[in-house]
Amino acid sequence: MNRFPKTPMKPSTVLIVAPHPDDETLGCGGTFAKRIEAGFKVVVVVLTDGRNLFRLSPLKIERDPTPQETSEMRKNETRRSVQILGGERAEIYFFDFEDGRLAEFAGEASQKLAKLIRKAIPNEIWVTSEHEEHRDHIAACAVARSARAQSDSHARLLRYITILRPGLALAEIPDPRLEEDISRQRDLKRTAVSQFESHLKIIAKEQKEPFFKTADAWLGDKEVFFVDP
């Protein structure tokens, strides 16, 4: 009896929206790796170019490294991290809006992201929450919500945490949330986080210490997501 060959099912897809080259790893790298282990495909979208890490810091550095050099450094760090977390089942896109000015380009960014959502057809979209400290992180949340609506996507929207705005504790936020146990993925995440030398080492000539003395704040046993209805 002849049988038609079975058509392989398309793997479920997660679309991670990162405001900067690093947020996909710091905020949700463990769950990223966990989804990969479960057979998902992961698509990472980095909205800004990361050029102003040193320029917009209190250091106000314009050279050594230049904004362009900083951008390339941070993109390469993210490429390495995504490879560690996702291997061949992860892909990455850089939208290259200017670091620090995402809100000014929100309309264009939303349209571009909606186009990618229609192409990738994700089951879940992850983005930084509106409770974050950085203005680009807040803008990214609005961009993702708008893009999901424009694309008529039914993907579940989850908002991950990097750094909450000052004075706001997690327990004070009433939004529904879920916690992912990443204890098994923590060592892999640690390796991925270590790629971000621009944060963890002294890079600029005018630096006296790195931006973060330790990455321990992002290397716990769980990652928390707020859940949109």
- In this predicted structure, the answer to whether residue 11 has a pLDDT above a threshold of 90 is no
Q: Give the chain's mean pLDDT.
A: 94
Mean pLDDT of 48-65: 91
Q: What is the pLDDT of residues 144-166, one digit of tens each?
A: 999 999 999 999 999 999 999 99
Average pLDDT for residues 21-34, to the nearest whole number?
98
Instruction: Report whether pLDDT(127) > 50.
Output: yes
Cis amide bond preceding 229, omega within 30: no
Residue 4 has pLDDT above 50, yes or no: no
Q: Are 128 and 140 in contact (CB under 8 A)?
A: yes
212/138 Cα distance (integer angstroms):
21
CATH class of the region 13-227: alpha beta
Confidence of residue 6 (pLDDT cuts 50, 70, 90): very low
pLDDT of residue 5: 39
List all residues 6 or more positions away from 104 whose beta carbon is below 8 Å from its beta carbon. Answer: none
pLDDT band at residue 10 under the 50/70/90 scheme? low
Mode of pairing for the β-strands spanning 156-160 and 177-181: unpaired
Per the CB < 8 A criterion, the answer to whether 33 and 188 are in contact is yes
